[in-house]
Structure 1
Amino acid sequence: MIVITAPTGKIGRRLLPLLLESAPARGEHLRVVVRDPARLPDAVRDRVEVVTGSHGDAEVVDRAFDGADAVFWLVPPDPFRSPDDGYSGFTRPAAKALAAHGVGHVVAVSALGRGTPTVGRAGLVTASLAMDDLIAGTGVAYRALACPSFFENLLEEAGSLRERGVFTDTVAADRKAPLVAVADVAAVAARLLLDRTWTGTGSVPVLGPEDVSPDDLARVMSERLGRPVRYERQPLDELRAGLSRHGLDEAFVRGVVDMKRAKDDGLDAGVTRTPDTATPTAFEDWCARVLKPAVLS
């Protein structure tokens, strides 16, 4: 039995079809934990067992992990909780349930940065890595998918790209860093969940095919969208003020700002790309397939 949390999120909705392709032939059953089962496609809902509720709730994860052999764990960032409460606090009931039910393997979405000089003050990333330690401490075999930023974050800029030809971030325009498609993260997760011959705890970097800078992204988007695109660097103070105006938890706001500062200081650049850590989706292809229709719609 494989349990999938956040099955309707960016990664989960790509992970589920991959598991449904292969799991039945291997004798694997799938169970999902979802707040609103209506958000699951009909074709998926009819082929999985559904546990309704939040996977941050002790009673829900106790039911969900009963009889489970493996769990895909993803914590959705909560802008109304502190980073520590949002990651470790949210995960603590699940950690107890993993131990209570003797779950053997867990694959979770986490972040790059462990071992870098800035990791202790990297906000949301620091909190995510503390969550990894919490899960690993249960005694399960654990793999943390160490991810950089996602291509899909640029979908939040679709309106600005359409209307102004501009996207923003807080890092230097020439700061090269890994960037990855969520579909590639889902593919790595599926492989680990289906072939559980691995033991112990460890990190699995998921780095995309190459490092890119905002200037590189602007060039590619200009080519693929057929219109000029430029990058505007947003000051951290402006980011902080904008998030605070939305009434978000102040500790969460600090966590976002600290993460952005750490990324500009090279947080994501500490792992060498190898054939094992590279993933196949190029930004050029993703831009043509995913971003262009969103911008031009």
Structure 2
Amino acid sequence: MIELDGLTRRWPGADRAAVEDLTLTVPEGTSCALIGPSGSGKTTTLRMVNRLVEPSAGRLRIAGQDALAGDPVMLRRSIGYVIQEVGLFPHWSVAGNVATVPRLLGWPAARIAARVEEVLALTGLDPARFARRRPHELSGGERQRVGVARALAGDPPVLLMDEPFGAVDPVVRGRLQEEVLRLLKQLRKTVLLVTHDLEEAVRLGDAVAVLRAGRLVQHAPAAELLARPADEFVAEFLGADRALKRLALIPVSALPRRDARAEGASLPEGASLRDALAAMLARGTRAVPLAGGGSLALEDVLAAGSGEAPSEAMGVSLEGQQRSPAGGG
């Protein structure tokens, strides 16, 4: 759905390109998170996709169409965009803010009203309570939800997210991530996400692209990235605890069940291997029982964390399905 081919941006007078020869594909209905140090070109890349920044070279295709050939304003109206600062119009109601793109697209009033109610409900905001409120009457988390609702209002096939949860506290951020993840599964949007938070990247991204000094260093499914960093820079950037991060991506159902008896409460099907490891540490055991029978052994969890688990566990997505190919890079 999103294809970057040799995409480059050079700022006048700069010593090097902000983004250099970036080739990357985000298949339809999947999400890709861009991470990297400050100045690595993440946000510039995102802004080139909706042409807030024009590429100096390269090609950009969205849904197979040349996105650099047409009107950039019309392109932006076909792409949802969520930013950290939200950018709500302060004197407009929540409903008015959410209706921005549908109005620009010329939708009839009845269709706009119905869509506003629909996306507010999708993002956990009761239309009866929130539609008439002004942004200053909302909490930070509520404003961010409105920002997501506004980005979804025109039903765009592509959604761009630039540090979308950076301005809210960690507790609210976790809840918002869960709700956005639910929406991404439900709506099957094609998503390009910029974040400095590795846990957020691997939680929300089917694939993760690591940038350094404007160049793509590695692009892979999140579990594969954490198991096999491409080089020392990627390994250091991911951190020494990357094995634990990887365990959080793999559900207990991805590993074989053992017949050995284990004591204590059973872990549910949706639990992760990190949940299983935490339960073993808390109970002082080497195995935990699983819902539906059988148990999970410590040695199997450790093997998964080190990348030695069976291959079927390597590509497991957050939905328990095989990840789509990462493409590019």
TM-score (norm 1): 0.30
Q: Whose radius of gyration is greater, 1 or 2?
A: 2
Structure showing the higher helix proportion among its residues: 1
